[in-house]
Structure 1
Amino acid sequence: MPGNLYNNCSNLPATPTRLERLLRERELRKYSKCLNDCEAELPSSTQDCFSPDLETSTCLFNDEELLETVSASRSLNDDGERLDFRTSKQRLLVVANRLPVSAVRHGEDSWQLEMSVGGLVTALLGVKEFDTRWIGWAGVNVPDEIGQKALAKALDEKRCIPVFLDEEVVHQYYNGYCNNILWPLFHYIGLPQEDRLATTRSFQSQFDGYKKANQLFADVVNEHYEEGDVVWCHDYHLMFLPKCLKERNKKMKVGWFLHTPFPSSEIHRMLPSRLELLRSVLAADLVGFHTYDYARHFVSACTRILGLEGTPEGVEDQGKLTRIAAFPVGIDSERFIKALELPEVQDHMKVLKQRFAGRKVMLGVDRLDMIKGIPQKILAFEKFLEENPNWHNKVVLLQIAVPTRTDVPEYQKLTSQVHEIVGRINGRFGSLTAVPIHHLVCLYLIICFHI
């Protein structure tokens, strides 16, 4: 983004020109020729390994590592002959609260895996330049060893590695600290103000559960980490993870990315554990945000709350620089375009066109979440119908609401509230043949894109 001081990661090289690539490939051939006692050249297939896509896709590579890869990839076989150069992808360990699949148990040692729905999953499906392993919680409690081994084996086929959390840890860490404290605060919703003493006690137990869960994630990462891997931590669920990883291995390359807004320093001050969380995130080598504003808020929190020095590249703490940058998240657009050509999608599109023929259709696709403003959207549509009676039976609002956190009381109340509003408006402006609002709490249209 132009003018973004926190988007100039010096580790991110500019996309090389064709001339630069040719010069680089020539140097690599010279280096390989030296390794082969000046007798052989690199095969042409080697050039694909050092394409611009691979070189610029991460800011954690450098020239020495590339040359070491060339050297390490050439070995001798049993007859003492030099083996051909084999291209290999960089290993990337994606660590997130949830795996991209949900597990359903069938029997003692049998599991069924289904595709998960979420923005993180959708965005990372487009990452194909790396040998990726995904580490996370499968969304189920598996207390027995037989079940854990069977689930780990089933997930291994999907290149996933499970983190096993018991019900108490999930309650304190996920339902408690993540969803009761961090999620509202990061969206500028204040902390609960009821019984201050009870809130403080509850907060401390939730924070302890949060740190325990992050340590369990760190244990799994360390178990599967290989030298040279890049560890990519995701979201507010794992703010404590970079510190846990760096304490075990300072040379580990760790990045952390936040998939929510980061609030201003004035709002972040409301968080009792603000100092510990900020320092834990700063243990990472690279910290990413969606926008420049979020990155600026984070740097401001570090300077005003921790007293550290902010630089155009990030935050410096006693000589250690943590790079801060803005990386807007995108999607694999080709996958969505191809989904439109599927027969089942085409058939469903025809049904929708027939059902809403002659009427304007307003489409909304949102998670059923407190910060998405679904009740406000529906009430605004009611206001439009009140002020424009000539649009009755000529416009329809098709609202797709993807359920989330169904076991949290606040979200259960939100679901009931939305259903009540929709029912009242449809009863007021609808008829026997048509209603103005179609509220669908389902995953069908989302799942179509994961076929």
Structure 2
Amino acid sequence: MLSRSCFNLLNLDDYSIDRTRIPRVISVPGIISEFEDVGNAESPESDAVSSVSQERRIVVANRLPLKACRDSSADGKKWWFDWDKDALVLQLRDGFPSDVEVVYVGCLGVEIDPSEQEEVAQLLFDKFKCVPTFLPLDLINKFYHGFCKHYLWALFHYMLPLTPNHGVRFDKDMWQAYVSANKVFADKVMEVINPDEDYVWIHDYHLMVLPTFLRKRYHRIKLGFFLHSPFPSSEIYRTLPVREEILRALLNCDLIGFHTFDYARHFLSCCSRMLGLDYQSKRGYIGLDYYGRTVSIKILPVGIHMGQIKSVMSLPDTAEKIKELMREYHGKTVFLGVDDLDMFKGISLKFMAFGLLLDENPMYRGNVVLIQIMNAPRSRGTDIQEVHDEINKVACD
């Protein structure tokens, strides 16, 4: 039986966007026919797809684990792509068996001219097994910079828009853009999936309604979701006008993963209080019964990829940088901080704590150094500039 969320989100996907699809980029054996629109998925042929039999993992995230730039040697007319070894979703490959093929679906992070999109899509699939999702700039602004970063990101970190001038209030247009963007991601997954063999792993709060579109299209699809951010308590989450739609969409997965037990507990509490669902917990297993399916809830803390760290440490450039720092700070204790420029990273609080350390322990003055590296912000707006100004002010005091 399909959940109600399979239907209600389709009514919101009315964003003005060109639905013309790029020709199939599949270069594996088998024939994949053109799929009908997801709304026509009730037919018995809904699950009829390619005869590809190799087991695969389809990893879906907002950003592909790729770096992209124009090739200067070709008069700036050709694109150059390479793996972004710092991308978290790329590290997931090491957790899969060596004989499992991994396909990535996501955005590139750079704007590709429509006339180049077909060529770029073919190149990325042939060389990297990546399927790019091309979103119009206006949709990106409302979906990512609007609903995701200014609304969901703040809400999931317990920041509520208490006044018209404090925070971003819920905007229906941004919500519709969020749903429409998730529908575009679903279309790209449908281009490559073999639902009887493949496992789809969706990542983070950008794509929380994607499971609805995929479950609607393929009843037997194997879906997993992992949330890389906190999940707030029910008292905070209940302020979200589309709280039930998102919960029901996530429950279209077979497995939902969280960083900590607290985040999972908050999610279960929301499902209980807002949807009236009960869950079972036995010997570490947590399951939610939802429309005839059992949704597994897992606590999956993200670890540190020691192999990646050792690889970077062994580079000649790293060794040279270490020597440079040792010469510059010889005899001193060095504290290192690496954070994104974001209001929730607490960089200014770190500076204040470091200043308090020096005030209360005069013997450390001149003997300890704090080096702070700030990565570029992932969002934009006045709040980012305010955070930047606050950090500079605290650092100069």
TM-score class, shorter: 0.7 to 0.9
Decide which of 59, 64, 70 is 1:94's aligned counterpart. Answer: 59
Deviation digits for residues 356-414 of structure 1, max 9, x if unmatched? 10111111122222111001101111222233333221110011111122533322321
Decide which of 230, 241, 249 is 1:280's aligned counterpart. Answer: 249
Question: CA 1:297 to 1:234, structure 2 compared with 1: closer, same or farther past 3 Å?
Answer: same
Quote the Cα distance in structure 2 between the aligned partners of 1:117 and 1:408.
Answer: 28
- Residue aligned with 1:345, SS: helix
Paired position in structure 2 for 1:328: 301
Paired position in structure 2 for 1:311: 280
Q: How does 1:119-198 map to 2 (within 5 A)?
A: 120-121=88-89, 123-129=91-97, 130-145=100-115, 147-156=116-125, 157-191=127-161, 193-194=163-164
Decide which of 238, 246, 262 is 2:231's aligned counterpart. Answer: 262
Larger radius of gyration between Structure 1 and Structure 2: 1
Paired position in structure 1 for 2:14: none
Deviation digits for residues 90-139 of structure 1, max 9, x if unmatched? 30000000011132235675112255476634642533423101100001
Q: Is the 8 A contact 2:151 2:169 kept in 1?
A: no
Quote the Cα distance in structure 2 between the aligned partners of 1:122 and 1:290.
Answer: 18
Paired position in structure 2 for 1:249: 218
Quote the Cα distance in structure 2 between the aligned partners of 1:389 and 1:119.
Answer: 41
CA shift at 1:243, angstroms?
A: 0.6
Q: How does 1:50-449 map to 2 (within 5 A)?
A: 90-106=55-71, 110-116=78-84, 120-121=88-89, 123-129=91-97, 130-145=100-115, 147-156=116-125, 157-191=127-161, 193-194=163-164, 199-200=169-170, 203-226=171-194, 227-312=196-281, 313-405=286-378, 407-422=380-395, 424-425=396-397
Quote the Cα distance in structure 2 between the aligned partners of 1:252 and 1:240.
Answer: 15
Deviation digits for residues 263-282 of structure 1, max 9, x if unmatched? 11111101111000000000
Question: CA 1:195 to 1:346, structure 2 compared with 1: closer, same or farther past 3 Å?
Answer: closer
Question: CA 1:135 to 1:192, structure 2 compared with 1: closer, same or farther past 3 Å?
Answer: farther
Question: CA 1:209 to 1:108, structure 2 compared with 1: closer, same or farther past 3 Å?
Answer: farther
Residue type of the alignment partner of 1:96: A
Gaps of 5+ in 1: 1-71, 74-87, 426-451
Residue type of the alignment partner of 1:411: I
Quote the Cα distance in structure 2 between the aligned partners of 1:136 and 1:192.
Answer: 34
Q: Is the 8 A contact 1:278 1:302 kept in 2?
A: yes
Residue type of the alignment partner of 1:160: C
Deviation digits for residues 34-78 of structure 1, max 9, x if unmatched? xxxxxxxxxxxxxxxxxxxxxxxxxxxxxxxxxxxxxx99xxxxx
Question: CA 1:382 to 1:332, structure 2 compared with 1: closer, same or farther past 3 Å?
Answer: closer
Q: Is the 8 A contact 2:182 2:207 kept in 1?
A: yes
Q: Is the 8 A contact 2:65 2:87 kept in 1?
A: no
Quote the Cα distance in structure 2 between the aligned partners of 1:291 and 1:389.
Answer: 38
Gaps of 5+ in 2: 1-50
Task: Provide the TM-score with structure 2 as the length reference.
Answer: 0.79
Q: How many residues align?
A: 335
Residue type of the alignment partner of 2:292: G
Residue type of the alignment partner of 2:177: G
Paired position in structure 2 for 1:61: none
- Residue aligned with 2:295, SS: strand
CA shift at 1:416, angstroms?
A: 2.7
Q: Which has the higher contact order (CA 8 A, sep 6+)?
A: 2
Deviation digits for residues 238-278 of structure 1, max 9, x if unmatched? 00000110001111111111011111111110111100000
Q: Is the 8 A contact 1:290 1:327 kept in 2?
A: yes
Paired position in structure 2 for 1:50: none
Residue type of the alignment partner of 1:224: V
Q: Is the 8 A contact 1:95 1:233 kept in 2?
A: yes
- Residue aligned with 1:134, SS: strand
Q: Is the 8 A contact 1:123 1:331 kept in 2?
A: no
Quote the Cα distance in structure 2 between the aligned partners of 1:132 and 1:406.
Answer: 28
CA shift at 1:225, angstroms?
A: 0.6
Residue type of the alignment partner of 1:100: P
Q: Is the 8 A contact 1:406 1:412 kept in 2?
A: no
Q: Is the 8 A contact 2:334 2:369 kept in 1?
A: yes
Quote the Cα distance in structure 2 between the aligned partners of 1:89 and 1:135.
Answer: 18
Question: CA 1:153 to 1:192, structure 2 compared with 1: closer, same or farther past 3 Å?
Answer: farther
Quote the Cα distance in structure 2 between the aligned partners of 1:307 and 1:233.
Answer: 25
CA shift at 1:162, angstroms?
A: 0.1
Question: CA 1:224 to 1:89, structure 2 compared with 1: closer, same or farther past 3 Å?
Answer: closer
Quote the Cα distance in structure 2 between the aligned partners of 1:360 and 1:336.
Answer: 21
Q: Is the 8 A contact 2:247 2:271 kept in 1?
A: yes
Quote the Cα distance in structure 2 between the aligned partners of 1:195 and 1:372.
Answer: 22
Q: Is the 8 A contact 1:126 1:332 kept in 2?
A: no
Quote the Cα distance in structure 2 between the aligned partners of 1:190 and 1:114.
Answer: 39
Task: Provide the TM-score with structure 1 as the length reference.
Answer: 0.70
Deviates more, 1:253-262 or 1:413-422: 413-422
Question: CA 1:356 to 1:179, structure 2 compared with 1: closer, same or farther past 3 Å?
Answer: same
Question: CA 1:125 to 1:91, structure 2 compared with 1: closer, same or farther past 3 Å?
Answer: closer
